[in-house]
Amino acid sequence: MSTRHEAGTAGPHHVLILGAGYAGMAAAIQLAARGKRREDVRMTLVNANELFTERLRLHMTGTGQPVARLSIPRLLEGTGARFVRGWVTAVDADERTVRIDDDRVLRYDTLVYGLGGVADTVAVPGAEDHAYTLDSVHDAESLAERLGRLGSGTVVVAGSGLTGVESAAEIAERHPELRVVLLGRHAPGAAMNPRAGAYLRSALDRLGVEVRGGVEVAKVLPDAVELAGGERVAAAAVLWTSGTRAAPLAAAGGLTVDERGRVVTDATLRSVSHPDVYAVGDAAAIRQRYGVMHGTCQGGMPTGVHAAVSIVRTLRGGQPRPFRFGYYHTPVSLGRDDAVVQFTRPDGSPRRWCLTGRLAARYKETVTASPWPTYARMRKAPASGAFWPRGGRFTREAP
Ligand SMILES: Cc1cc2nc3c(=O)[nH]c(=O)nc-3n(C[C@H](O)[C@H](O)[C@H](O)COP(=O)(O)OP(=O)(O)OC[C@H]3O[C@@H](n4cnc5c(N)ncnc54)[C@H](O)[C@@H]3O)c2cc1C
């Protein structure tokens, strides 16, 4: 197989962004907008698809509901940024190269690594082979197809975190003919305040979802899951939502990663092993004073913006600044007309306030629909995307 080398580093500074998810798109749009009049920078964005994956809606795709078609190249039109559709197969952080679809090699001066994460199907035997995931549109569509064909039977949703709850609720609402069982180590909504948690559990109950907390799935079989202790729960389909991990590409490419394969960053979001690499979104292990950030869209978009601002600042001869972020909410859909929104402290712990019911469902939909218009706005006014809650004392440097 011959290898095509493209986009060599001679000439303008080449910023290569991998992944056009929530974080990578934020980085690309910011960089395109802020570097518009600069002859000395050019940018390439690589993504598996031309259409933007609204990961926040994959439980809708997984139950056969149509979602908008959002074209990434169209949004980038006129910005001078180049879009490459392709699958990244290797990164060489020492050589500063990225391999795409095995036969193309792109060189970079600065890399923004934003390839996201996937459900951790390797931790439990059989999950990789027998369970569905919501890792991509393709995976979600496969689930939708399976659910549509079942007619009756049990669907097990493994993982009682927020993705598991949203998915179980959506499946139960869309497929009343199916029995939906939600299995997890913790009671769903356990991390919320008592009122929000109770509301969430009563909504699952109303939808007919059978919840079993305090259980550990030990094995996934073709027609069942086996719990620790040996009990089997028969299942015509299993959706795996438990745990997350990043693609092995970063580790294989020589970047320092954590136990989940995420690129370990310094305070400015640069890789601790390769400072010419910024890591953003779910693919990054970013430490704040309250701990390592967990993967969310609310935190991912600011990381992308911060990386782009830092790159432009560095090109002007400045120094990147530390990244600070504090959470502010946990919105959870419970079918299409119901939801619960838990407002949080910057470290993610629940406040007393929450929204429930239709108002919460409207809030959740507004949040879910907001990234794309935000990108369009940032194209014209990049500063409009550069504000986010910094977390105050929760993220201030320790003395
Ligand atoms: C059902 C569901 C509901 C959620 N709800 C919420 C919510 O309400 N609020 C919230 O904050 N978060 C929510 N999340 C989490 C949120 O979606 C993620 O934290 C967010 O998508 C992370 O953004 P990202 O840019 O890091 O990665 P992603 O959005 O996953 O984007 C990664 C991109 O990289 C591309 N890619 C990956 N590997 C390759 C490769 N090898 N080559 C080329 N391209 C590649 C992918 O196609 C994708 O476009 C939810 C997740 C799910 C699954």
344-362 mean pLDDT: 97
Q: pLDDT band for position 310 (50/70/90)? A: very high
Per-residue pLDDT for 14 more than 70? Answer: yes
What is the CATH code for 4-119+244-327+370-394?
A: 3.50.50.60
Q: 160: closest CA among 124, 122, 210?
A: 210
Per-residue pLDDT for 348 more than 80? Answer: yes
268-289 mean pLDDT: 97
Ligand 1, residues 296, 298, 343: which to mutate, most atoms within 8 A of Cβ?
296
Q: Domain 127-240 falls in which CATH fold?
A: FAD/NAD(P)-binding domain (3.50.50)
Supply the residue whose CA is at minimum distance from atom 27 of ligand 1: 116
Helix (H) or strand (E) segment spanning residue 113: strand 110-113
CB of 197 closer than 6 A to ligand 1?
Answer: no
Q: 113: closest CA among 372, 315, 300, 244?
A: 300
Task: Measure 2 CA to ligand 1 centroid, in angstroms.
Answer: 32
Range 387-391, long-range pairs (CB < 8 A, 24+ positions): 388/301, 388/302, 388/305, 388/325, 389/325, 389/326, 389/327, 389/328, 389/346, 390/324, 390/325, 390/326, 390/346, 391/288, 391/289, 391/290, 391/324, 391/325, 391/326, 391/327, 391/346, 391/347
Task: Measure 295 CA to ligand 1 centroid, in angstroms.
Answer: 8
3-state helix, strand, coil in the chain (%, to 5): 30, 25, 40
pLDDT given at position 399:
46
CB of 59 closer than 6 A to ligand 1?
Answer: yes
Taking the C-alpha atoms of residue 342 and residue 204, their distance in angstroms, rounded to an integer, is 16
Closest ligand 1 atom to residue 367 Cα is 8
Task: Measure 395 CA to ligand 1 centroid, in angstroms.
Answer: 24
Chain CA centroid to CA 32, Å: 22
pLDDT per residue as tens digits for the range 27-52: 999 999 987 777 889 999 999 999 99
CB of 62 closer than 6 A to ligand 1?
Answer: no
pLDDT given at position 259:
96
Residue type, position 30, single letter: Q
pLDDT per residue as tens digits for the range 91-131: 999 999 999 998 999 999 999 999 999 999 998 999 999 99
pLDDT given at position 1:
47
Ligand 1, residues 45, 53, 56, 332: which to mutate, most atoms within 8 A of Cβ?
56
Task: Measure 227 CA to ligand 1 centroid, in angstroms.
Answer: 29
CB distance 170 to 60 below 8 Å? yes
CB of 22 closer than 6 A to ligand 1?
Answer: yes
Task: Measure 294 CA to ligand 1 centroid, in angstroms.
Answer: 12
CB of 54 closer than 6 A to ligand 1?
Answer: no
Average pLDDT over the chain, rounded to an integer: 94
Closest ligand 1 atom to residue 249 Cα is 41
Supply the residue whose CA is at minimum distance from atom 7 of ligand 1: 56
pLDDT given at position 102:
82
Supply the residue whose CA is at minimum distance from atom 47 of ligand 1: 48
Taking the C-alpha atoms of residue 55 and residue 21, their distance in angstroms, rounded to an integer, is 8
Taking the C-alpha atoms of residue 37 and residue 171, their distance in angstroms, rounded to an integer, is 48
Closest ligand 1 atom to residue 53 Cα is 49
**Do the domains 4-119+244-327+370-394 and 127-240 sit in the same CATH topology, yes or no?**
yes
CB of 252 closer than 6 A to ligand 1?
Answer: no
73-100 mean pLDDT: 96
Three-state DSSP state, 322:
coil
Per-residue pLDDT for 83 more than 90? Answer: yes
Per-residue pLDDT for 265 more than 90? Answer: yes
Task: Measure 243 CA to ligand 1 centroid, in angstroms.
Answer: 14
CB of 261 closer than 6 A to ligand 1?
Answer: no
DSSP-derived letter for residue 208 is T
CB of 298 closer than 6 A to ligand 1?
Answer: yes
Domain residue ranges of the chain, discontinuous segments joined by + = 4-119+244-327+370-394, 127-240
pTM above 0.85, yes or no: yes
pLDDT given at position 36:
75
227-244 mean pLDDT: 96
CB of 99 closer than 6 A to ligand 1?
Answer: no
pLDDT given at position 257:
98
255-281 mean pLDDT: 98
CB distance 184 to 164 below 8 Å? yes
